[in-house]
Structure 1
Amino acid sequence: MTTVDDVLAQLANLEDPRMRAVNERHGDDHGVNLTKLRGVAKAIKTDQALAAELWATGQTPARLVALLICSPRAFDDAQLDAMMRDTRVPKVTDWFVNYVVKKSPLAEQMRERWFDDPDPVVDAAAWSLTSQRVITHPDSLDLDALLDQIEREMKDAAPALQWAMNDTLAQIGIYHPPHRARALQIGERLQVLADYPTPPGCTSPFAPLWIAEIVRRREG
């Protein structure tokens, strides 16, 4: 039976100072290669009790393993809310939203609970969940109201929140042709992420370019 100490020892052996230096530039406080970290989690498989213990350590690599071995359906709304408010490291936040909350039957409940939260990281999680709904279940979403709010608030939003709102803007433009012209207009006017460095062959996160490229691939 794998214990917390077993996992922590494995992660300590994977720590690489050069990897830590790279990660710290992005706000992540660890030096573990994520492919190798996934290997640790794969060997454990699903273990909710161990996941809870690993999360309680507060250590970023341990929490990342916890998010890979937990059962998203096992968390109630209070636990999800508490964990969300305790995810201060970008990679932990990203994995928590994508690997746990989005797979939980409580995803829509949490989206509504976190929307317009005063904590921009929590609010960003709600917008990330909104982006998913824009693509998969847009019924009952007021897309015009979302565009209104993006137009008012995205320019001056905190970085994580701005990124998530921009994602919603792009998804509305890509998947909802009646709203595409307005989404493009908002992106052009606000110029959010217009100068974001984009490697060759990758799609720019600047919404007008992003929308145009994905629409070209989908409809061309």
Structure 2
Amino acid sequence: MIFVLVYCTAGISGGHINPAVTFGMFLARKMSLIRALSYMVAQCLGCICGVGLAKGFQTAYFDRYGGGANLVAPGYTKGTALGAEIIGTFVLVYTIFAATDPKRSARDSHVPVLAPLPIGFAVFVISLATIPIDGTGINPARSFGAAVIYNNDKVWDEHWIFWVGPFVGAGIAAFYHQFILRAGAVKALGSFRSMGSFRSNPHN
């Protein structure tokens, strides 16, 4: 479903569907603050509507499974859940940066077409690892929509984890990709060009 959603909306809005992704893109200077905030509001409203529809059509399942709200599972601490959210969101946002890098897209023409595929796989793998811990957040809007409709005190008490964790993870991913990998790639490219120039004119 993530693959389908990203594929369908990438040409319209970039296919973020996640405030953490939008936050990462904002930190990477790929969008303005006003646009980022507008995206986040739209994402949260969309998730509220989606959870509301799910409750309306499947009330029995909704109540049985706690509205799909994110909670720290028994046997795990809030710190463990926070760490899982940070790591999971880092993997997701870094995958998105890598799959949509314009320099890579210019070199490999098939990348823009296939970009939603690794993003969908990243969410799948992260979910396998983190569902037992906290139901897998990595998307503050998804957690917020479920919390609003389910409206449980314990859910709200732990809700901060599913904003702080994803935003920290997205921030680390943006910094790593933009200021470490990109800087390293530019430096390596500059060294390569300098070496090529020296070889072509060794008397310089």
Give the TM-score normalised by the residue count of structure 1. Answer: 0.20
RCO greater where, 1 or 2, for CA within 8 Å and sep 6 or more? 2
Q: Which has the larger radius of gyration?
A: 2
